[in-house]
Amino acid sequence: MDRDLWKAMQNLNIGSNLQPLRLSRDTQRRNATANRLSLVVRGLNPAHQNLTGMRNTLPKAWRLHDRVRGQINDDGTIQFFFTEEHNLLSVIDRGPWSFKDWMVIMDPWYRRGNPNFLTTISFWVQIYNIPNEYRNQEVVEEIGRELGHQEGLRIVEPTRDNLSEVWVRIRFDAYQPLTFTRYIHFEEGRDQVLLRFEYERLKKFCVTCGRLTHERMECGHVLPQPQQLIEQNEEEQLCQQINLQQQDQEQALAEGEQLMVEKEEAESPIEQVDHDEEENLDQIHIAEYMQDVTQPLLNQGTPVSIPGISCPTTTFEIGSTSGADRGSKRKFEDIISEDSYPARRQRIEETNDEDGLVVAIRPPPEP
């Protein structure tokens, strides 16, 4: 008999007139408890994150593979069932996590009725270039609010060997572009300052639009042209022109530095010979990937400013001769030289031949 016909014959209503089945109270209670202690996870780039691999690998990355059970849901999410609530909370606290170099988002199952359920991600963000006199909780909180919902804040005083550090833990919409730079007017009559934001544990993202959901080659977003960025307001027009000039200068400096790096590499052929083919490909990929991480994202949005303050005629960046270069080169060096990672960037790695690599970095230590 034809298979479809066979199935159709069984699609009858015989039995619908019987007494409805009822789950026993014990089963209901155990099911509710299991769901309450579960975490729903979704990959931000599903095309590169197969669900079976993610289900098998994430618990190992969490060091909880013997205490967590994963279930793939029909909607493309994975639900991880914990036995202890503190383990669930620990996973959230140690996040964000990635699988196959793309970030994943997670939410406790009990938040499923919330409008922003499974749409946000939380990073520790280090803020650079805040002048000493503004390095305090109130100012940092105000800056943090521009990035998203603040979940934590830490200001580290400088020591003889280390510069000061300003960190904010920010939760924001995982489907919106990341912000890497932002001009700020700290006070009237002073030059505006270009703040830089570095995201701890950030993995791949689109260097064209700054989103976590796709690669540059797959980007369908078009950045506004400089002409479109110019607002009708005359004062804002002036600000935009200044920003563009600054961008050109930084581009020129970055290109100059890039040439210097290439020249140094050319003069050190031994290093290149020592790399096997796979390593070379990795480095080429990383170099290509990081080369313009900063530039396309510069000057998005208008500067943060205190109302009533006019746009100054010059801009500068504290502690750097070339802001764009500093950001991109630092990230590049950090990635290719893991040994140079400071302790707070210690990596946790789990390798699985079938499932790929999960990498997370431990959160910054408490001061």
Instruction: Determine how many CB atoms are found less than 10 A away from the CB of residue 360.
Output: 20
CB-nearer residue toward Zn ion: 29 or 221: 221
In the region spanning residues 40 to 99, those forming contacts with Zn ion, defined by CB under 5 A, are none
**Closest to 297 measured CA to CA, from 232, 205, 201, 234:** 205
With H, G, I as helix, E, B as strand and everything else as coil, classify residue 328: helix
What mask, x for binding Zn ion by CB under 5 A, covers residues 221 to 240? Answer: x-------------------
Residue identified by tokens 């270039």 is 129
Rounded to the nearest whole angstrom, what is the least distance from the CB of residue 205 to Zn ion in the complex? 8
Q: How far apart are CA 72 and CA 254, in angstroms?
A: 45
CB-nearer residue toward Zn ion: 209 or 242: 209
Rounded to the nearest whole angstrom, what is the least distance from the CB of residue 177 to Zn ion in the complex? 8
Q: Is 219 in the site for Zn ion (CB under 5 A)?
A: yes
Q: Is 208 in the site for Zn ion (CB under 5 A)?
A: yes
CB-nearer residue toward Zn ion: 206 or 360: 206
- Burial label for 217, CB within 10 Å (0-12, 13-18, 19+), is exposed
Q: How far apart are CA 306 and CA 321, in angstroms?
A: 26
Instruction: Tell me how far CA of residue 114 lies from CA of 89, 107, 108, 117, 189, in angstroms.
Output: 18, 10, 11, 5, 44
Q: How far apart are CA 143 and CA 150, in angstroms?
A: 10
CB-nearer residue toward Zn ion: 135 or 216: 216
CB-nearer residue toward Zn ion: 221 or 285: 221
Q: How many residues of this chain bind Zn ion (CB under 5 A)? A: 5
Rounded to the nearest whole angstrom, what is the least distance from the CB of residue 101 to Zn ion in the complex? 16
Stretch of residues binding Zn ion (CB under 5 A), selected from 23-31, 215-223, 319-327, 330-338: 215-223
Q: How far apart are CA 204 and CA 209, in angstroms?
A: 12
Stretch of residues binding Zn ion (CB under 5 A), selected from 180-188, 213-221, 228-236, 339-347: 213-221
Q: How far apart are CA 16 and CA 31, in angstroms?
A: 25
CB-nearer residue toward Zn ion: 88 or 209: 209
Type of residue numbered 140: V
Stretch of residues binding Zn ion (CB under 5 A), selected from 200-208, 243-251, 266-274, 322-330: 200-208
Stretch of residues binding Zn ion (CB under 5 A), selected from 99-107, 164-172, 209-217, 350-358: 209-217
Query: CA torsion 168→333→62→170, rounded to 10°?
Result: 20
CB-nearer residue toward Zn ion: 170 or 178: 178
**Closest to 190 measured CA to CA, from 29, 106, 303:** 303
Which of 139, 143, 166, 209 forms a contact with Zn ion (CB under 5 A)?
209
Which residues are at the interface with Zn ion (CB under 5 A)? 206, 208-209, 219, 221
